[in-house]
Structure 1
Amino acid sequence: MRILYLLFPFFLLLLQGAAGMTSNPQNEKECEKINGYCGFLKCSFPFVIKGKCSRFFFCCKSLWG
C-alpha cells in the first residue's frame, strides 16, 4: 500500500505527457488536413508555422483555429 501513493503521481505524469503528443504536419496533405496551407519560407500575420510541407515550404495555420 505504501508504494501506491508513490506510483500514482508517476502515472499521472506519464498520461499527461502522452496526451500532448501530436505530430506536426510533414507534407502538403497533412497540412491541408488540419486546414492549413503551404507558404514559402514564412506565413502572413494571422497564421503561424505548424510544420513543414517541404524543404522551403512551411505549413501555416491560423492562430484562431
Structure 2
Amino acid sequence: MRILYLLFPLLLLLAHSAAGSSLEPRDKKQCERENGYCGFLNCKFPFVIKGKCSRFFYCCKNLWG
C-alpha cells in the first residue's frame, strides 16, 4: 500500500505525455516521407496544411488523399 502514492503520479505522468503526442509531421523529412511538401506560409488549392516543417513553412498534403 505504501507504493501506491508513488505509482499513481507515475501513471498520470505517462498519460500526460501520451496525450501530447501527435501524428502530424514536425519536420521536412517527415513531411516528405508522408507524401507532402513544405510550403511558405500557405498551400495551393488541392493541398491543405497538415503540420509544420519549420517556423514559416507548413507541411502541405493533398486534400483527397
**TM-score class, shorter:** 0.5 to 0.7
1:46, 1:64 → 2: CA distance? 8
State the superposition RMSD in angstroms. 1.3
Partner of 1:4: none
User: Which of structure 1's runs of 4+ aligned residues deviate more than 4 A?
Assistant: none
Q: Specify every segment of 5 or more residues in structure 2 that has no aligned partner in the other structure, as ranges.
A: 1-20
Could you tell me how far 1:23 is from its partner in structure 2? 1.2
Separation in structure 2 between the aligned mates of residue 47 and residue 34 of structure 1, nearest angstrom: 13
Match of 1:53 in 2: 53
Deviation at 1:22, TM superposition (A): 5.1
Q: Give the aligned length.
A: 45
Structure 1: state its 5+ residue gaps. 1-20
Q: TM-score, normalised on structure 2?
A: 0.65
* Identity of matched residues, %: 69
